[in-house]
Amino acid sequence: MEDHNYTLLSKRFIGYLPSHRNMSDVEIAQMNSMRQVGISIPKIYQSFAMQVGGFNLVRFTKQVAAGSRMCDIIWSDGRSQEDYEAFGDVLAFDATFGRNKYNLSIIVLSEVNHHNQTCVFAAVMVLCESQDSYKWVLRRFMECMRGKAPKAVITDGDPSMRLAIMHVFPDAHHKLCVWRLLRNATAHVSQPCFTQLFK
């Protein structure tokens, strides 16, 4: 073995390295099982923190506001990164999941694979849905995905999202979600057969 000219990182801090910030298939299955039985996201986060020895060792990227209050957090595991490498030309940026009891907005970054199955690339919670928050999310997302930017991003049309996308992914095309367009059009057009004509 070669001699190192620097001190190796102690085992306790390995989880902070980008290459070690991921979730295993077992952790994902555990998280999904906990959600299915109604356990809240903060309780799941607490459970994972206790499993790894404390909140400071959880393998996620987060942003902390004044007063040490967590304001933004993003999760992306190795499988998600592999899926993004294969299917990440188009990114769906979906912030329509609402808020949790801590008033954090839930965002899912995803797309579909060649079998028309949803691939979740990252899950995010943000304190406010502002352009700055969205820029932070997209920058961290691009770090997780080894600098690969999508060619197109699909959103619900939120102006803050659009501006953040233009700033972080300047070469990506911004597209509006067809499902949301259809839902809004159907709600505002009184013609009975409009939906069939629109499709």
Of 95, 96, 106, nearest in space to 40 by CA:
106
Question: At 52, which helix (H) or strand (E)?
Answer: helix 41-52
Per-residue DSSP letter, 99: B
C-alpha 169 chain-centroid distance: 16
Residues 27 and 73 in one domain: no
Domains: count for the chain: 2
Location of structure tokens 């070669």: 2
Q: In which region does residue 79 sit, left (phi positive, over 0), alpha (psi from -120 to 50) or beta (all else)?
A: alpha
- What is the domain extent for residue 6? 1-59
Is pLDDT larger for residue 140 or for residue 71? 140
pLDDT at 149: 93
Residues 116 and 165 in one domain: yes
pLDDT, one tens digit per residue, over 73-132 is 888 877 788 888 888 899 988 887 777 777 788 888 998 888 888 888 888 888 888 899
Residues 77 and 7 in one domain: no
- Bridge-based pairing of strands 90-94 and 69-75 is unpaired
Residues 37 and 86 in one domain: no
d(Cα 176, Cα 180) in Å, to the nearest integer? 8
Is pLDDT larger for residue 18 or for residue 158? 158
Residues 173 and 88 in one domain: yes
Tokens of 142: 């691009």
Question: 154: how many CB neighbours lie within 10 A of its CB?
Answer: 20
Is pLDDT larger for residue 95 or for residue 15? 95
Residues 143 and 179 in one domain: yes
Q: How confident is the model at residue 54 (pLDDT cuts 50, 70, 90)?
A: low
CATH number at residue 69: 3.30.420
